[in-house]
Structure 1
């Protein structure tokens, strides 16, 4: 509850200054799914936080109020209290504000800023970290700016609020909050002091009642991150993430992440990126419902507000810091990938099953090419960096054979070096391994409980040594890429070649790991054509103004989800992980279908595999994983129904290739992700990200709402507005009004189905057929992209006025009017211009025709043409002669709209492991 607000206007500029409430009651902690009733991307009331001018402050007379223009941003400061606000260029209301010095810490108010000296309480084990800045074990001594009168200074490009600190030495000790220009359009906010030992700090800003937050990397804790505190420290996220953190280090807190990134977006209309790489944590209105607190340790907090009128524009500005996908991935990355481990017999079994069952597949991923075996904690790899010729005696021939059949071959690398592999001796003898402070090799237990260490990625010679193994894998064996796993485990007390400690380099280690992988693959393919014919996929990551994973990792996956339905660490988490990674600049994302970790939980069963497969079809990266319990987790070839189900959704994924390619252009040019948070696409529709009704967009035009509960056969979907079409439907959905213009619709979704909707007015570009491979093949009968070159299938999803529109960068465009639900169209009347189309059963394959039963038209060799169906018209143009298949909504998808059989869990179906020994 807030008391009356009081306005003050600066005498000179009449600028709106920051206000503060005059009560001492700390509001209750909000629900973590708080929406944004302020209209999403529109700023709400000016700072609801205010400082009573009657509050007694220690110090001199109040300074003058300030309203300064810095890079187009308006920074306003109340000279009496130091309360401040920031209004973006062209904006009418502040997007971010901070409280003044009037307040008492012990009553729940946070000071505008605090600084401290001392050490944090740091616990670490098996890559998990618990870092506390205020605990009995921490030795930090905090100095507050509460109740201290500030001074305010304005220069040409900065505004500085300064508070004297109660220290004897130096006599002029002060903490300063500085607002300054960053580049041509952005605004930096940073806390500084003139006291060297004060290297920990906190900046407090205000939190609006309905403000929502997004981003921060691979977060699992809901679509709206409000109401939690997030450690920005890359780490193992644990096996299960209960609210209380569970048992350390087996479990971790919900806010722990493999790839936390210092990027966040607010529904109040701003986006920010952290300005350093040390430890930070951000309290998003958890401790007090009206306060956000950004803390940093061993670096004082600094962040940059980026310019942009919309979330998309701000994300583009963010990726100026983090980098973007470069180069664009090869086509085969967007085809389905399949795992195959255990030896060449299993690789052949998988390849044969895929081709014999007409399942599109462009890559086979064999992580145990380096060797692996089953242990009490799951299937574990050797972590060597070279081919295991005992498990795979003829690997070069195996790879050649797979590539001839249209499969890229993917392997595995990580930065661990166990003591039982040859690389340990090489690394130790040459000084390539991380060290203790006593200059000994730093040893710890790796995930397989072996004594192990890490490569020192600050040592250029060590990186060259690592890349020698990578280049050998790519050049001599022809491996097309790999999983670049881990990189979260760097101990904080390690000593590095650069002179840095593990603490100082910890968050940068994943970036150095990703850069090493990218540089090795780039070099290996530099003289090949095409030179981008490779990929790697990473799970750890980081981002700050110094760079980010978005510019290094070709693709990222969501990490090791549990093989269950839990919202803390199971199947549902793939939705927020992908959405928040996207808002952190990561463009290409996928997950382990169907989960990885079975420790302490059930194995993947048939129902979970079906649900996860369908959801994975709408991510740009669609990849199966055998999981840690490789024999007992369900897999794509476990029974005939699963083969049919996976064939269907792998085909849908394959048909979407032209749509994915359009989105790749947006990724490379604008930094926009393919998997999109609803806030990015519909910032004024908070109903789309409220609660646990997880949904995501693929691009702007496809809304995906997976069924995330077992035994469920329906779900409620929230749509931005009326008129969205079910992907395979024949009429638009009519929903029940929800918040704002959003509507809800109850959807039937048997186990074989997934609710997916398409924006009204959209034409989805699809491949004309689901080819076997995007990799290319020399084997007769294996179809690839060359077989559908110059062909497109167009699925029309009209708006309420009957209009449709398509725009592609590859020289094809289409627009139309008069289209309605499929039942209202008379396809027998179809014509090309004024010439009636013959039926397809009366023509050859090279002639334009109509199929009234299928409700589609085939148009051959089009450069300019108009298709008419009754009163509906579709104008088409192409730079080169193109064949089109045109249909409305589900009719355009043909056979893929038909559900495959599902008769139950079939738990007795034999595993692929049965009958084979390692």
Structure 2
């Protein structure tokens, strides 16, 4: 939120109490307590003005947090994002008008000399990362609200904001803030952390994460469940301005020697990403949303895939598996599926896993509405009545997951579906959560619950699944999330249009989310809104089958390939089989992501932070550590891509085409190519060993029978972990490569 009008003036209706001085400070255990106030000319300046209490802590090594409080007497009903923490790693000292707080290699130096307030975060080499310089910590008084009645005179009420402004350096680039579909580099943008159902072609986002990652090897996480406003060089061109309504702001600066280490520390702080079962990496097919389907239609789709030898792993029933107006009664529509249990068994006999759509809304026509109302399981208005509207399902109510009984009631119905054979749930919606004139069962602040709700929703469904099948075998397909949601995978990109531009914006959104602590992501292959032309369908298939998860899904039209031409079936078959052959590699990279917070699909900047040419690239990515992927976003097949440079790669040989091992690429160069639908730019990184198995029919098959290693360039002391597809946390074989230096571009080692 912007409060200023240029450098010298404030916007009409706002005043800011800037902190300029440390009045006093004290060290208490691993924390520093400070009292900040305005510029002090004499003792009279301590009167009739604001002060801000600041607390400096370190929950984990390499992470330093600051909590700023204006008035401490406010009610705090939560919720708050969970933080993992340890003690005993902070070192505190004071001398020469400053207090120094050190956590690992991260230092925070706070000037305590009179009227010289400054915070500086730096590395152990004293290289400045960011900080608070002059006029950068303040309390904003807002005289424009309904509460501000001038006739109240001396007792006039002001609603206010906490404001913290963090310095930016020359050429510093910012990333993340959740799944954002606009410009990939966030400099110059105004971003509000507030979940909305806005599609992929707007500034609104389903997945808002108040965490940004800097090219200077640090990140900032704002621990606030309500709306957080970021002005990223969009108000002050040398700063990121962070504001929240209310009296308190808490944020953490997270250091890493590389961007990957920043993500490792961020996920250690907010929650380790969970793994997903191996079968989920296979192709998913849905009924699409508003299409007509019944047993005969679904069976026809499945027969078409079988007859064309296109592997298929998961079949998803979208919303109309239930009767209209009765979402979500969690009952198969008997008019279309007269014996759902028997039908699901027939599908599973084909080797398929089953997914069904749901959300946390209960339409008034649902058989569950009356029971939920009587037992108090829904979000309520202040008078105790059920909050309802017609904007999705007629008269719908929303389950209140702060009520443990309501959560258990809902998940018991999911258990019944799992008993019928359902393996996964698409947890749709949860962005349009009311925050005015409502109350939650546990008394939580409704504004803070707006974003946080999606976390409770996904957590309830995910934990219900994992109670039944174990943590290594449960997964969702979720649209909304909040910090910590990486523990409840997978997430997909929401409602995109069927255009090349929407395909590109989907990739931008996914890369941004995966710079925010998430390691898995998918898009609707072919686009959700509209019907893709054949060229777009085939290009999105290529991209979608080189995403962590791959789902064919649309709104009013089916996504089975032969509708678009049999050549589309050929492209899909080749892409699915290629992905299945990469299962050993995908499982290894996913396990690494679980350990480190590094995603499967990586922005080029994340993998090559020492190459400034990668900083703004958002039309290509690394699929794991070894493979560069440049999707084709044009009908004629033309594509431009950059081959990154690193000091290690330069000594290990050249990048090599996946399709032609004799075709090589120089690091640090741009290339322009034209591809037919049988290929796209997939490059193998020099000095790498990539495990593949071309004998696999499904991702669950034995990885050792037919296992091969693609060795690219010169290799020294490489190690490959072969992960058990039945337990994706376990390694069943370690292959070590001490030295391969035979001058070949690629060797296949069986």
Normalising by the residue count of structure 2, what TM-score does the alignment of the two structures yield?
0.79
Matched with 2:658 is 727
Whether 1:331 and 2:278 are equivalent positions in the alignment is yes
Whether 1:807 and 2:720 are equivalent positions in the alignment is yes
The one of 59, 68, 91 equivalent to 2:41 is 59
Residue 485 (structure 1) shift: 0.8
Whether 1:504 and 2:427 are equivalent positions in the alignment is no
Matched with 2:585 is 659
The one of 140, 151, 164 equivalent to 1:116 is 140
Which runs of structure 2 are paired with 1:889-900 in the superposition (5 Å)? none
Question: Separation in 1 of the partners of 2:384 and 2:141?
Answer: 28
Matched with 2:528 is 596
Question: Separation in 1 of the partners of 2:562 and 2:593?
Answer: 31
Question: Separation in 2 of the partners of 1:454 and 1:212?
Answer: 40
The one of 708, 728, 734 equivalent to 1:793 is 708
Question: Separation in 1 of the partners of 2:577 and 2:691?
Answer: 14
* CA deviations over 1:111-133 (Å, ceiling 9, x no partner): 312313569xxxxxxxxxxxxxx
Question: Separation in 1 of the partners of 2:540 and 2:283?
Answer: 14
Matched with 1:420 is 365
Matched with 1:490 is 433
The one of 548, 557, 561 equivalent to 1:630 is 557
Task: Report if aligned partners of 2:641, 2:671 keep a CA contact under 8 Å in 1.
Answer: yes
Matched with 1:362 is 313
Task: Report if aligned partners of 1:67, 1:74 keep a CA contact under 8 Å in 2.
Answer: no
SS of the aligned residue for 1:289 comes to: coil
Task: Report if aligned partners of 1:725, 1:732 keep a CA contact under 8 Å in 2.
Answer: yes
Residue 512 (structure 1) shift: 0.2
Residue 386 to residue 501, structure 1, CA distance change in 2 (3 Å) = farther
SS of the aligned residue for 1:301 comes to: strand
Whether 1:471 and 2:415 are equivalent positions in the alignment is yes
Residue 534 to residue 218, structure 1, CA distance change in 2 (3 Å) = same
Which runs of structure 2 are paired with 1:296-695 in the superposition (5 Å)? 296-298=244-246, 300-326=248-274, 328-340=275-287, 342-368=293-319, 370-371=321-322, 382-447=327-392, 450-475=394-419, 477-493=420-436, 494-525=438-469, 532-543=472-483, 548-551=484-487, 553-566=488-501, 570-598=502-530, 603-625=531-553, 627-631=554-558, 635=561, 637-690=563-616, 694-695=619-620
User: Which segment drifts farther, 303-312 or 404-413?
Assistant: 303-312
* Superposed CA RMSD: 3.1
Question: Separation in 2 of the partners of 1:25 and 1:727?
Answer: 57
Task: Report if aligned partners of 1:727, 1:756 keep a CA contact under 8 Å in 2.
Answer: yes
Task: Report if aligned partners of 2:390, 2:396 keep a CA contact under 8 Å in 1.
Answer: yes
Count residues in correspondence: 641
Question: Separation in 1 of the partners of 2:154 and 2:198?
Answer: 43
* CA deviations over 1:408-446 (Å, ceiling 9, x no partner): 111111111111211211211111111112222111233
SS of the aligned residue for 2:435 comes to: coil
Question: Separation in 2 of the partners of 1:90 and 1:382?
Answer: 56
Residue 478 to residue 794, structure 1, CA distance change in 2 (3 Å) = same
Question: Which of the two has higher C-alpha Rg?
Answer: 1
Structure 1, unaligned stretches of length 5 or more? 1-22, 27-55, 101-110, 120-135, 142-166, 170-194, 242-253, 374-379, 736-740, 776-784, 826-855, 858-873, 875-883, 885-918
Task: Report if aligned partners of 2:188, 2:234 keep a CA contact under 8 Å in 1.
Answer: yes
Residue 196 (structure 1) shift: 11
Residue 556 (structure 1) shift: 0.9
Residue 685 to residue 407, structure 1, CA distance change in 2 (3 Å) = same
Residue 590 (structure 1) shift: 1.1
* CA deviations over 1:464-493 (Å, ceiling 9, x no partner): 110111111112x11001111111111111
SS of the aligned residue for 1:442 comes to: coil
Residue 816 (structure 1) shift: 4.6
Task: Report if aligned partners of 1:594, 1:609 keep a CA contact under 8 Å in 2.
Answer: yes
Question: Separation in 2 of the partners of 1:200 and 1:436?
Answer: 27
Residue 383 (structure 1) shift: 3.4
Task: Report if aligned partners of 1:416, 1:446 keep a CA contact under 8 Å in 2.
Answer: no
Residue 369 to residue 535, structure 1, CA distance change in 2 (3 Å) = farther
The one of 762, 768, 780 equivalent to 2:694 is 768
Matched with 2:54 is none
Residue 58 (structure 1) shift: 5.7
Residue 302 (structure 1) shift: 1.3
Task: Report if aligned partners of 1:688, 1:695 keep a CA contact under 8 Å in 2.
Answer: no
**Larger helix percent:** 2
* CA deviations over 1:251-301 (Å, ceiling 9, x no partner): xxx2x2101112111112211211221211111111232121001113522
User: Which segment drifts farther, 434-443 or 59-68?
Assistant: 59-68
SS of the aligned residue for 1:439 comes to: coil
* CA deviations over 1:128-155 (Å, ceiling 9, x no partner): xxxxxxxx668789xxxxxxxxxxxxxx
Task: Report if aligned partners of 1:636, 1:646 keep a CA contact under 8 Å in 2.
Answer: no
Which runs of structure 2 are paired with 1:248-263 in the superposition (5 Å)? 254=203, 256-263=204-211
Task: Report if aligned partners of 2:326, 2:367 keep a CA contact under 8 Å in 1.
Answer: no
SS of the aligned residue for 1:766 comes to: strand
Normalising by the residue count of structure 1, what TM-score does the alignment of the two structures yield?
0.65
